[in-house]
Chain A
Amino acid sequence: MNAGHRSARHLASRNGASICRSCREKTLSRKPYSTAAAATAADNTAGPASSSHIPPVTATAAQQAYQVRAGVVLSRPPLITRDLHPFEKAFFLYQRRLNERLALPFTRYFYVKKDTPADAEWKRKMKKRLTPARDIGTYNAYGNEGWNDEVLMGAQESEPEWQVERLLEDAEAAVSGGGIGGESGGAKGLQEGGQPAVPEVAAKAVVAEPVERPMPRVTEADKKGDLRSLDRLLQRTLYLLVKNKDGRWMFPDDQIVGKENLHQAAERVLIQAAGINMNTWVVGNAPIGHFSFNFPKPRPGLRQNVEELGGKTFFMKARIMAGQANLAENKLGFTDYKWLAKDEVEKAVTLRYWSNIKNMLAER
């Protein structure tokens, strides 16, 4: 052992408490095995007095280790599109009107033959909205006032709900046009030409064959505030959180047993925690995040002669396709569950847990 080594070892052992464990071990065990063996041989030849430096080969003290746990981040992906920002709505309408100005005229006679009920319907609609597009409001792109394409304040043209209503109105009118075509209803509407003919036809159509409306974007679970329902917050990713014995909200997790790997452990945890009434898919074999904690006091572990300092949870990603969680027969001691979006998870869990899990949860 040379002077440099000796001084480094000395310094390291002097302030061993302030450096990290792996660095400390690296510094202290820098001596390769070959030199250790040589030193042993040398000591043996010199005499038994100096052999006290060599550490014993077998450790009698309990080995210290961390529990390895598998957690499951079970999520329900967003089911519907997100709400658009007001700027996006305005931008999309502006681009649609711009397109109407720049595009070639609609090839009307390819789609609508002359002197048919469909032709009368087409003329009636064009008179009303001045453009073939159904969802950009009353706007004449080819006229002298085509430049006037900005939406005035308070106008509803850029709202998706308004546009859906216009499309449905159009579909209803189409139904009525086909139905009344035989009895010259379309021609009558044209002759009158005024506004009153239009709502009359539309109202008739609603009675005759109502067009199916889209489902509401806000569900009953949202209105009731039912945190256990999977039908809430359709635009967001929902995560399954469970309440453990200590009353803390967390992702379901359990210690890895035997030789099972993380993927198998995640599947087992899902079944043991939330029942078999769920169709789930554990995504991939690699964890997406981890969380480690220390016990207040080291405690004996599952294996013999092992003392556990704490736990390290590795989170596996999983998706729920169908079904619902059921904690009635769970073996892991969970008492309650919730389906929460990311910002609600933040309020439910402890600060330390949140700082470890926040980067693996999706914003939307």
Chain B
Amino acid sequence: MALRELPSKARSSIWRDVRPCLFSAKPCFNRKVSTSANHLEDLESSSSFSVPPPSEDIVKSYDPVAQSKIRENQLPPSRYQFRPPKYYRGPLHPHQPPPPSDPSSRLFQPGPFTLPRLQQTYESTIAPDLLTLSYAHFPPGYKAPPKQQRLRSWEGESPYFKNRPLRGPRGGDTLRLLTAPKTFRNIPKITGVTVHSMVPEAAHDSANLHVAGMIIQAITNVRVQTHKARSNVTQWSLRENTFVSVTAKVEREDAFHFLAKLIDIVLPRIKEWKGVKGSTGDSSGNLTFGLPPDAVALFPEIEVNYDMYPPRMIPGCHITVHSSATNDKDARLLLQSIGIPFYGKFVN
């Protein structure tokens, strides 16, 4: 038995002898991007920014409008006035719509138009700090203990339990999101904002809903969606199938601009505002808070032409901040770091 181990031991000891000289020779052939001197330079040495510009007279004589007017035979409109098909008729149809990234597509959305300040702050300051704060050290060779089965099996004598799908967890039939160990790849970030405004008075006078839509549109820079009441609730004077609310789903650049306006301009000016309640959240990283009508009127877009809106029709709204965090604790830390205060008992 022991003799059988000998060849492997000898092999490893020989390898141990040889290894140092191999590693001393390493830099010669084991080249890495980070160790090479010019890893920061572009792959292509010449860029269009380094090429000298065209001469002065070429620049001065270039006039695209004049050139197009000189042209004798105009281009046929079918060449440049392309209209994509209104309906998708399947992959075999000869007339296919262009991809959504094509400006001629019906789904194309232009943008981005700016690089928001909040986004730059997140990338340069907030994200590294969040990673440092939530770092958990595991020694090398650590293996996470295997996860238990989260769904329960059916225990009992009943013959109907055989091959039955597993039972949901105790206290509810949905599984909560799992939180993965923090790495630089899964730092929580803001994925979007939903602004929602419910106007029950719209059942009597639809002007309320129109004003609410204009206001939410103005403060979010996004087209709003209207929603009908799903059921009759007499206490709230809701009637089924009447339009009662508007929402705007704000993403990317618009979300950063909206949050920056909210945090830097609106929230500091609300009188006697305690902050966002600590118990908010849907336990999967989306936090909601509300603004009263006089706080909505503080948005700069509303303030500049406040007189244009009919009196007493400015609505309040609910703001849901969606984050990629998988629990409320991480999401709260993210919102605190971008400047939203919380008060009261924290519920995770």
Binding site for B on A (CB under 8 A): 2-5, 7-8, 11-12, 15, 18-19, 23, 77-78, 81-82, 84, 86-88, 92, 95-96, 98-99, 102, 110-111, 113, 145, 147-148, 150, 152-154, 237, 283-284, 286, 288, 317, 319, 362, 364
Docked complex Cα distance between A364 and B125 (Å):
9
CB under 8 Å from chain A, chain B span 24-69? 49, 53-54, 59, 62, 64-65
- Nearest-neighbour CB distance to chain A for B20, whole angstroms, equals 5
Q: Is the CB–CB distance between A78 and B125 below 8 Å?
A: yes
Docked complex Cα distance between A11 and B14 (Å):
9
- Nearest-neighbour CB distance to chain B for A249, whole angstroms, equals 23
Interface string of B71-83 (1 = CB under 8 A from A): 0000000001000
Q: Is the CB–CB distance between A86 and B49 below 8 Å?
A: yes
- Nearest-neighbour CB distance to chain A for B264, whole angstroms, equals 14
Q: Is the CB–CB distance between A92 and B5 below 8 Å?
A: no
Q: Kindly list chain B residues whose C-beta atoms are within 8 Å of the C-beta of A99.
A: 110-111, 113
- Nearest-neighbour CB distance to chain B for A72, whole angstroms, equals 13
Given contacts A82-B120, A150-B64, are A95 and B112 in contact (CB under 8 A)?
A: yes
Docked complex Cα distance between A2 and B59 (Å):
88
Docked complex Cα distance between A237 and B127 (Å):
14
Docked complex Cα distance between A233 and B64 (Å):
41
- Nearest-neighbour CB distance to chain B for A359, whole angstroms, equals 9
Q: Which of A18, A77, A92, A283 contacts B114 (CB 8 A)?
A: A92
9 contacts between A and B (CB under 8 A): A4-B9, A78-B124, A78-B125, A81-B120, A102-B110, A111-B308, A154-B59, A284-B133, A364-B124
Q: Is the CB–CB distance between B10 and A11 below 8 Å?
A: yes
- Nearest-neighbour CB distance to chain B for A160, whole angstroms, equals 9
Q: Is the CB–CB distance between B13 and A12 below 8 Å?
A: yes
Q: Kindly list chain B residues whose C-beta atoms are within 8 Å of the C-beta of A147.
A: 80
Q: Kindly list chain A residues whose C-beta atoms are within 8 Å of the C-beta of B112.
A: 92, 95
Interface string of B151-163 (1 = CB under 8 A from A): 0000000000000
Cβ of B103 < 8 Å from any Cβ of A? yes
Main secondary structure of the interface of B (DSSP, over half): helix
Q: Kindly list chain B residues whose C-beta atoms are within 8 Å of the C-beta of A3.
A: 2-3, 6
Docked complex Cα distance between A86 and B47 (Å):
12
Q: Is the CB–CB distance between A15 and B16 below 8 Å?
A: yes
Q: Is the CB–CB distance between A286 and B2 below 8 Å?
A: no
Docked complex Cα distance between A23 and B20 (Å):
14
Q: Which of B53, B108, B117, B133 contacts A283 (CB 8 A)?
A: B133
Docked complex Cα distance between A284 and B135 (Å):
8
Docked complex Cα distance between A152 and B62 (Å):
8
Q: Kindly list chain A residues whose C-beta atoms are within 8 Å of the C-beta of B64.
A: 148, 150
Docked complex Cα distance between A5 and B8 (Å):
12
Interface string of B84-126 (1 = CB under 8 A from A): 0000000000000000000100001011111101001100110
Q: Is the CB–CB distance between A286 and B132 below 8 Å?
A: yes
- Nearest-neighbour CB distance to chain A for B77, whole angstroms, equals 12
- A84 nearest CB neighbor, chain B only: B115
Cβ of B17 < 8 Å from any Cβ of A? yes
If A102-B110, A288-B132 are given as contacts, then 10 extra A-B residue pairs at C-beta distance below 8 Å, sorted by A number, are A4-B3, A4-B5, A77-B125, A78-B125, A84-B115, A92-B112, A95-B112, A99-B110, A286-B135, A286-B137
Q: Kindly list chain B residues whose C-beta atoms are within 8 Å of the C-beta of A8.
A: 9, 13
Q: Is the CB–CB distance between A102 and B108 below 8 Å?
A: yes
- A355 nearest CB neighbor, chain B only: B35
Q: Kindly list chain B residues whose C-beta atoms are within 8 Å of the C-beta of A82.
A: 120
The 4 closest A-B pairs by CB, nearest first: A2-B2, A99-B110, A11-B13, A77-B125
Cβ of B294 < 8 Å from any Cβ of A? no
Q: Kindly list chain B residues whose C-beta atoms are within 8 Å of the C-beta of A12.
A: 13
- Nearest-neighbour CB distance to chain A for B251, whole angstroms, equals 16
CB under 8 Å from chain A, chain B span 301-331? 305, 308
Q: Kindly list chain A residues whose C-beta atoms are within 8 Å of the C-beta of B16.
A: 15, 18-19, 23
Q: Kindly list chain B residues whose C-beta atoms are within 8 Å of the C-beta of A19.
A: 16
Cβ of B214 < 8 Å from any Cβ of A? yes
Interface string of B225-250 (1 = CB under 8 A from A): 00000000000000000000000000
- A282 nearest CB neighbor, chain B only: B132
Cβ of B282 < 8 Å from any Cβ of A? no
Cβ of B292 < 8 Å from any Cβ of A? no
Q: Is the CB–CB distance between B110 and A98 below 8 Å?
A: yes
- A94 nearest CB neighbor, chain B only: B110
Q: Kindly list chain A residues whose C-beta atoms are within 8 Å of the C-beta of B305.
A: 111
Cβ of B275 < 8 Å from any Cβ of A? no
- B307 nearest CB neighbor, chain A only: A113
Q: Which of A15, A98, A102 contacts B17 (CB 8 A)?
A: A15
Docked complex Cα distance between A8 and B3 (Å):
12
Q: Which of B6, B17, B53, B137 contacts A4 (CB 8 A)?
A: B6
Q: Which of B13, B20, B62, B124 contacts A77 (CB 8 A)?
A: B124
Among B9, B49, B62, the one with the most A-chain Cβ atoms within 10 Å of its Cβ is B9
Q: Which of B20, B117, B124, B132 contacts A237 (CB 8 A)?
A: B124
Docked complex Cα distance between A78 and B53 (Å):
34
- Nearest-neighbour CB distance to chain B for A306, whole angstroms, equals 24
Docked complex Cα distance between A96 and B112 (Å):
8
Q: Is the CB–CB distance between A4 and B2 below 8 Å?
A: yes
Q: Kindly list chain A residues whose C-beta atoms are within 8 Å of the C-beta of B293.
A: none
Q: Kindly list chain B residues whose C-beta atoms are within 8 Å of the C-beta of A11.
A: 9-10, 13
Q: Kindly list chain A residues whose C-beta atoms are within 8 Å of the C-beta of B115.
A: 81, 84, 88, 92
Interface string of B130-148 (1 = CB under 8 A from A): 0011110100000000000
- Nearest-neighbour CB distance to chain B for A223, whole angstroms, equals 24
Given contacts A12-B13, A81-B117, A92-B114, are A362 and B65 in contact (CB under 8 A)?
A: no
Q: Kindly list chain A residues whose C-beta atoms are within 8 Å of the C-beta of B113.
A: 92, 95-96, 99
Docked complex Cα distance between A283 and B134 (Å):
10
Q: Kindly list chain A residues whose C-beta atoms are within 8 Å of the C-beta of B53.
A: 153
Q: Kindly list chain B residues whose C-beta atoms are within 8 Å of the C-beta of A84.
A: 115
- Nearest-neighbour CB distance to chain A for B219, whole angstroms, equals 14
- B214 nearest CB neighbor, chain A only: A110
- Nearest-neighbour CB distance to chain A for B254, whole angstroms, equals 12
Q: Is the CB–CB distance between B124 and A284 below 8 Å?
A: no
